[in-house]
């Protein structure tokens, strides 16, 4: 049984490998060029679709654009003179990968924060086993829950590990619909499971 579990985990990891490779290719940089202008440089996979947004500290979108990155590098000068002083978050989404970069505008100057990368987890259900793989870039405390309707039937604190590989035997559950939820500090990823 342990051998089957190891093989299944290896399969889940291999299925996730292409996404792992791609995760190293999305980078976001903000380079201030004057008191209220900055060049936003996005490096990603060739021909990838980019969703670019800027949100204020209340979560309100102050800028949004969709672009196709045809040559691996997207560059644009942004004029932040219309933004009020405060904290902002530049977010770039490409496929299942999200990169966030915070910045502050204060007294006509732009101060750039750290880059935060998030990759959607991989979920799969086959032959009674639920598989979950996740790269925990920010090393947040993770929890995996399984729900039957609104009722919590399984809870596991995964911890702060970078590489998460989980496989759960669900073969003893009754037929029906269940939901697996992987929870980070500020996000939840859900996966519907149909056991028939």
**pLDDT > 50? residue 15:** no
Task: Please provide the average confidence, as pLDDT, over all residues in the chain.
Answer: 85
pLDDT classification of 81: cutoffs 50, 70, 90: confident
More confident residue, 189 or 21: 189
Question: Could you state, in order of their start, the residue ranges of all structural domains in the chain?
Answer: 21-118, 121-195
Record: fold of 121-195: Immunoglobulin-like (2.60.40)
Strands (E) in the chain, as ranges, are: 27-32, 37-43, 48-56, 61-69, 73-79, 86-94, 97-106, 109-119, 122-126, 129-135, 142-148, 151-159, 163-169, 176-183, 188-195
Question: Quick check: pTM over 0.85?
Answer: no
CATH of the structural domain 21-118, one choice from 1.20.1090.10, 3.90.226.10, 2.60.40.3080, 3.50.50.60: 2.60.40.3080
pLDDT classification of 103: cutoffs 50, 70, 90: very high
Say if 21-118 and 121-195 have the same CATH topology: yes
Q: What is the per-residue pLDDT for 9? A: 46
**pLDDT > 90? residue 22:** no
List Cβ<8 Å contacts ≥24 apart for 58-61: none
Residues 36-53: tens digit of each pLDDT: 889 998 888 777 889 999
Q: What is the per-residue pLDDT for 10? A: 45
Q: What is the per-residue pLDDT for 148? A: 95
Q: What is the per-residue pLDDT for 131? A: 95
Comparing CA positions, the residue from 116, 128, 130 lying closest to residue 184 is: 116
């Amino acid at each position: 049984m342990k051998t089957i579990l190891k093989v299944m985990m290896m399969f889940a990891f291999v299925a996730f490998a292409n996404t792992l490779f791609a995760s190293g290719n999305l980078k976001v940089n903000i380079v201030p060029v004057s008191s209220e202008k900055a060049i936003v440089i996005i490096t990603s996979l060739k021909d990838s679709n980019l969703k670019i947004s800027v949100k204020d500290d209340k979560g309100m979108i102050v800028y949004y654009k969709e672009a196709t990155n045809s040559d691996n590098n997207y560059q644009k000068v942004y004029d932040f003179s219309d933004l009020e002083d405060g904290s902002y978050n530049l977010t770039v989404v490409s496929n299942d990968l999200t990169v966030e970069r915070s910045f502050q505008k204060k007294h006509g100057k732009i101060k750039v924060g750290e880059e935060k990368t998030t990759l959607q987890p991989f979920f799969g259900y086959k032959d009674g086993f639920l598989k979950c793989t996740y790269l925990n870039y920010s090393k947040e405390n993770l929890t995996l829950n399984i729900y039957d309707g609104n009722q919590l039937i399984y809870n596991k604190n995964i911890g702060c590990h970078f590489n998460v590989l989980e496989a759960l035997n669900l073969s003893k559950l009754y037929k029906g619909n269940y939901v697996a939820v992987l929870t980070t500090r500020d996000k939840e990823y859900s996966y519907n499971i149909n056991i028939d």
